[in-house]
Amino acid sequence: MALSVPCWGCNGRREASYSTLTDAISAGETARGWIPDWLPRSSRVIKVSYDPSSPTTWCSFHFSPDDSATFRQNLISTTTIPAFVRHIPNPSVVWWPGFLTGRVDSREVQKHGFQLYAVTEPDVGAATRTVLFAVNWTTGYALFYRSAGS
């Protein structure tokens, strides 16, 4: 079941919640590119905030740690945060953590039990875009941020 709520006063951002990945896929979130289609099939409690006029996206989700093989294959571990995702604007949603707002410090992220990963995804033409993932493999909780820049 999906809940999509406009985020008034948030520069035109949209916010949606989904009980399962299947619900998010049915709502078109993967087809529109807001959520990658290679997230674990067990993904649930998915929350996404995005700017429809740009690729900027904030997302959180839970997953079963036993269902992470495909997910892990798509992630590249990083301790050096790529420039375009080094500073994360505040999405003004209660579910986005403070340690992933502003200038991101990889040590601070690790203190909260998360590992950082960078993913390069195709963009318009031959361009690519970087997405920063923070994943807690023990609890099965992950977040990602996609910036408007490359």
Q: Give per-residue pLDDT as tens, 49-68.
A: 998 888 889 999 999 999 98
Output the tens digit of pLDDT for each of the chain's 150 residues.
544 444 434 457 889 999 999 999 999 999 888 899 899 999 999 999 998 888 889 999 999 999 989 899 999 998 888 888 899 999 999 999 999 999 999 999 999 999 999 988 776 555 677 899 999 999 999 999 998 766
d(CA 23, CA 125): 29
d(CA 145, CA 48): 10
21, burial (CB in 10 Å: exposed 0-12, middle 13-18, buried 19+): buried
Strand partners, 144: 59, 133
145, burial (CB in 10 Å: exposed 0-12, middle 13-18, buried 19+): buried
Tokens at residue 9, please?
A: 């006063």
